[in-house]
Amino acid sequence: MESQRKFFESGRTRDARFRRDSLARLEKAITGAENGILEALKSDLGKPAFEAWGSEIGPVLGELRFARRKMAGWMKQRRVSTPLLSFPGRSYIRPEPFGCVLIMAPWNYPFHLTLMPLVSAIAAGNCAVLKPSEFAPATARLMSEIVEKTFDPGQVTVVEGDAGTAEALLREKWDYILFSGSTAVGRKVMEAAAKNLTPLTLELGGKCPAIIAADADIAVSARRIAWGKFYNAGQTCVAPDYALVAESVREEFIAGLRKSITEFFGKNPAESPDYARIVNSRHFARLSGLMGGGRVRLAHGGRDLAPSGRVLCGGEMDRERLYIAPTVIGDVPAGGELMRDEIFGPLLPVLSFRDMEEAVRVVKSLPPPLSIYCFTRNPATMEGILGAVPSGGAIMNDTLVQMANPRLPFGGTGASGFGRYHGRAGFDAFSQKRGVLRRPFWPDFRFRYPPYKLPLGWLKKLF
C-alpha cells in the first residue's frame, strides 16, 4: 500500500502518454505469453484453446486496443453550461483517477476478469492491486509473472493467496474496489468497504433466464442456448441459468437441445476436446448434490432426478476427471432446489409457460438477473420483457455475445451487482468526476453580499 501510494502521488499516472504506454506494454506481454496462458487455463479449468482465447485473451486484447484508441477523448474535461448567477464563469467536469484500487477476480474466467478491469483502471490513471482466485492457481501464477515483468510494483501488483489474503487486503483503505464473484461474498466485500466508505463496483451473478417464445426459430434458439449454457461447462456468470419455453414448442426445443449437444460434443462429451471441466472437487460436489448425487435411473421417458426433476439428456458424472455431462432437466418445480440459487454448472432446467405474463411472473419471482435472453421474432415481445423485468443487460435471440462489445456497459442490478465497466463505462467507473467552476475577479456584483437589497423575485429569476 505504501508503494502504491507513493507511485500514485508522484503524478506519473495522470499523464496520457504514460497510460497509453502502460497499456501497450501489457498488450505486448499478453501476446508474447499466449501459449502459456492457454496452457494455464487448460490446467485450471480444462478449457479448450478456442474457448480460452475467445473468452479470455481476445476480449482483453480488444479492450486494450479500444481503450488506447479512445482514452485521450475520455480524459478530456467536458464543458457544461453555467447558470446566470455565476456569470461570467465557465463550468467543467474533469475526470480524475481515484488513486489506489483493488481488483478481486473469480476463478471461472480468471484471466479475463482480472485483466479486463485492470485495463480500465490503468486508462483512468490509477494504481492497482490484483487479487486473482486461488482456485485457478496456474493462471494466477502466470498473471503474476506477466505483471511483474511489465509494471513497476508501485503501479500494478498481483497478490496471490486464499480467503485469508483477501480479508487482509479488504482491511486496507482503498480508493476504489471492483469485485467479481458470488453474491454471498459480494456482501462481505461491501461490508468491508463500508468501514472506510470506499466506493465500489460489484459484478455478481444471478439466475439468467432464456425465454423462448412460440414464434422463435426453435432450432437456432436451442443451438445458441446450448452453446451459451455449456460454454466453459456452464461456469459463466451470464450463462443461461434456466430455459423458459412456450408449452407449444417445448418438445421441439428439447429435441433441439439434444441435437445441438451431440453436434457440439459428440455422443460422449467426456471424450470431446471442446468441453471444459468443473474447476475443483468442491464445486463438483455442489453440482452433484443438485443432481441427487448422480444416482439416476430410467423412468417415464427420462431419468429421475429426485426431488428436482427428470434428466432428459446427459446426467453422467466422473468425480476423478471433474466431468459433468451437458445435462438438460425437465419437470423442474418452480420452488425446487435447482431454481433457488445460480447453478453455475452444466445443468439446464427447462420450464414451460402458457403465456408471456406467466413467464414474466416466474422471472420476477427471482432476484434481478445479470442478463436476460429473449428468443422471438417479434420485437414487441422483447420490449414487453424489458419493460416488465429488471436486469443488468439483455439480448434478443442470442447468448453471451454482449461481452464482446466494449461499447456496451457490463454490470448487474440488485442482487446481481451494481456499477458498470467495459470500454468507456470502465474508464468512468475508475474515475471520479470533479466539478470545476472558473470565474474572474471582475465583475464582482455587490447584490450577493449582505446587507441584502435585491428583491427575492429577482434572485429567483437569476437561479
pLDDT at position 291:
83
pLDDT at position 380:
97
Report pTM.
0.93
Cell matching residue 327: 445435462
Catalytic residues: 203, 237
Domains of the chain: 2-204+412-436 (3.40.605.10), 209-404 (3.40.309.10)
Whether 309 and 330 have beta carbons less than 8 Å apart is answered as yes
Distance CA 387, CA 398 (A): 19
Write a three-state SS string for the chain.
Answer: CHHHHHHHHCCHHHCHHHHHHHHHHHHHHHHHCHHHHHHHHHHHHCCCHHHHHHHHHHHHHHHHHHHHHHHHHHHCCEEECCCHHHCCCEEEEEEEECCEEEEECCCCCCCHHHHHHHHHHHHCCCEEEEECCCCCHHHHHHHHHHHHHHCCCCCEEECCCCHHHHHHHHCCCCCEEEEECCHHHHHHHHHHHHHCCCCEEEECCCCCEEEECCCCCHHHHHHHHHHHHHHHHHCCCCCCCEEEEEHHHHHHHHHHHHHHHHHHHCCCHHHCCCCCCCCCHHHHHHHHHHCHHHCCCEECCEEEECCCEEEEECCCEECCCCEECCEEEECCCCCCHHHCCCCCCCEEEEEEECCHHHHHHHHHCCCCCCEEEEECCCHHHHHHHHHHCCCCEEEECCCCHHHHCCCCCECCCHHHEECCECHHHHHHHCEEEEEEEECCCCCCCHHHCCCCCCCHHHHHHHC
- The partner residues of 179 in beta bridges, in order of sequence, read 104, 202
Q: Which residues of the chain have pLDDT under 70?
A: 293-308
- Mean pLDDT rounded to a whole number for the chain: 94
Amino acid at 452: Y
Spatial neighbors of 234 by CB under 8 A, at least 6 apart, are 343, 344, 345, 346, 347, 348
